[in-house]
Copies of this chain bind each other. A is one copy, B any other.
Amino acid sequence: MYRAPVADIVFTLNHVAGLSEATENGTFGDLSGDLVEAILTEAGRFASEEVAPLAEIGDRQGARLADGAVRLADGWADLYRRWSAGGWNGLTAPEAFGGQGLPHMLNVAAFEMWNSASMAFAIGPTLTVGAIEALEAHGSQALKDTYLARLVSGEWTATMNLTEPHAGSDLGVMKTRAVPEGDGTYRIFGQKIFITWGEHDAAENIVHLVLARLPDAPAGTRGISLFLVPKFFVNADGTLGARNDLFCHSLEHKLGIHGSPTCTMIYGDGRFGSEKGAVGWLIGEENKGLNCMFTMMNNARLMVGMQGVAIAEAATQKAVQYARDRTQGKAPGWRGEGMSPIIEHPDVTRMLLTMKVLTQGARAIAYSCAHAGDRAHHAQGETARHWQERSALLTPIAKAFSTDVGVDVASLGVQVHGGMGFIEETGAARLLRDARIAPIYEGTNGIQAIDLVTRKLPLSGGDHVRGFIGELKAISADVRASNHPAFGETAGRLDVAIADLETATDWLLSHQKDGDLAGALSGATAYLRLFGLVLTTAYLAKGGLAAVDNGGTDKRVALCRFSAENLLAETLALKDRVLNGADSLAAARSILD
């Protein structure tokens, strides 16, 4: 059973992402390290003791649709209400609407734990948190006054309605229509698919944020507007009124996250309401809907990245426990009686250490990304811009690298369990099934790689990424200067890998400048992984140095060394693919016809 790794999480926040320095400097007001630890300890308790025990039944029962109503798995609606009653939904929400206004990284850390305990459960609130953010940034005061407090408390939940059957990665071709009524409201007509928690029985009301196209709107993504479309109208006194003209038409039968209802939503077909058309209110300006969505996109992508971290953590814990308990054969050098625990077999040790490295690396990247966002939020001018750029640069890596890690680590977890890993009751297979969606939704990992290469590397003319690479070199220099023998070859290998990153970065920037977009895109995925691997070892090194400074054991250093000496050399192949892979890719394209 999952146990929230609160100590690891707090350590990474403080000593890798930079929270302890920020709290000591008063960057986040009177937020103290003690408070952070207290909050996360309680979140860890709730995740381990309350959420995790209901994960399996959610997977087994899924969500069930009958007569347009969706029932979550047994115990889930109550679990959600206890969770929101605990105040977890409003951790970082504005205090004016009942939230606690804490830095976002606390939410990110807490959501790691909710997702480790049950990704299908955590994905629901993830959407609500995103909607709060969009509404706060772009909603009218009237909309905020009507909806925000109930969303912050979690009494109501929210959804994001983007995808249509023919409009997924490319939202420009969506067809859902919004017709102005002349009274400030709009009538929405259309079908949206893949709507997470689009209908369920855990909250009194569901607030849908829906992208739609106004009459005569410009073609493409510049003609999309964002609307708030509640399931139930809200009366002036805050009570719920009539039902709006929208409903859940069907639920998807998915590979994983069975507990999460993935809905096809129909707006405006006249099933509900006195007049045909779902009534919605504009959020932000007409035709600027994608801008509003982008406000929360970065955080949403980071939150999905956390799902990768979360699954990896849960899978690692499970596999380590099994490998300690299961005995089979005799490992080299085993002197105990009978068979050795399989954890002693070098190949099993290798799998488990690989899982640990990737999990901790992905966590460090995601928390550093969250921290950058928080710093940007609490800064001005150049400093704010620096942290905004850091957050923007790290977001696609936090999303894509971490979710690939989630799948890879969950798959290794199945392998460690041997035949039992293939049996559903063991639970390792569920983690793999759940993990598999994260590289797809919220922008596929291929799209993240394109974003990294074409939009993030050019920030400040390439100076931001170059400055970041300089910081990584400094970490390597610190490792060398520490003279700590347990780091082994870390410094030298990190230098080589950072040089690979630098070369690949320069190549991508210069090729884009020269108009070779296809060339740059051919190696984008390889580049993103290269960046993720370098950050993994660099951040493990940063953590290792901090642990040694704090008089800790060498465990973090040993893991860093394993990362450097067993996993980091892949960067050379990845750099090679960036620099030299495009021509053979283009030449072979036609064999697919």
Contacts and interface: CB of A to CB of B under 8 A. Distances in A.
A313 B316 CA distance: 31
A346 B454 CA distance: 14
Contacts of A561: 584, 587-588
A344 to B, nearest CB: 8
Interface stretch (A99-107, A116-124, A412-420): A412-420
A569 B573 contact: yes
Contact of A440 (B163, B421, B439, B591): B421
Contacts of A592: 320, 323-324, 343, 349, 352-353, 356
Contacts of A339: 170, 173
A446 interface: yes
A449 B347 contact: yes
A407 interface: yes
B558 A588 contact: yes
A386 interface: no
A353 B588 contact: yes
Interface stretch (A70-78, A206-214, A519-527): A519-527
Interface in A396-444: 407, 411, 414-415, 418-419, 421-425, 429, 432-433, 436-437, 439-441, 444
Given A424-B255, A573-B569, A559 B591 contact: yes
Contacts of A564: 584
A356 B591 contact: yes
Contact of A588 (B429, B559, B581): B559
A350 interface: yes
Interface string A436-461: 11011100111001100000000000
Contacts of A558: 584, 587-588, 590-591
Interface residues of A, number: 91
A585 B353 contact: yes
A445 B173 CA distance: 46
Contacts of A414: 255, 436, 440
Interface stretch (A44-52, A144-152, A328-336): A328-336
A557 to B, nearest CB: 9
A348 interface: yes
A521 B334 CA distance: 14
Contact of A169 (B170, B329, B439, B488): B329
Contacts of A54: none
A440 B424 contact: no
A572 interface: yes
Contact of A566 (B356, B433, B486, B585): B585
A383 B538 CA distance: 53
Contact of A347 (B254, B419, B521, B555): B521
Given A522-B350, A565-B581, A429 B422 contact: no
A580 interface: yes
Nearest to A488: B584
A254 B429 CA distance: 9
Nearest to A447: B347
Given A419-B194, A565-B580, A345 B521 contact: yes
Given A562-B585, A581-B566, A585-B346, A436 B411 contact: yes
Interface string A569-593: 1101100110011111111111110
A1 interface: no
A517 interface: yes
A440 B414 CA distance: 9
A419 B440 contact: yes
A350 to B, nearest CB: 6
Interface of A: 163, 168-170, 173, 193-194, 252-256, 320, 323-324, 328-329, 332-333, 339, 343, 345-353, 356, 407, 411, 414-415, 418-419, 421-425, 429, 432-433, 436-437, 439-441, 444-446, 449-450, 486, 488-489, 517-518, 521-522, 524-525, 555, 558-559, 561-562, 564-566, 569-570, 572-573, 576-577, 580-592
Closest 5 CB pairs of A and B: A569-B573, A347-B446, A565-B584, A255-B429, A558-B588
11 contacts: A163-B419, A168-B419, A253-B424, A255-B422, A255-B429, A346-B521, A347-B522, A353-B588, A558-B584, A561-B588, A570-B570
Given A422-B437, A555-B591, 11 more contacts: A253-B424, A332-B517, A346-B522, A347-B522, A350-B522, A414-B436, A415-B439, A415-B444, A422-B440, A562-B588, A572-B573
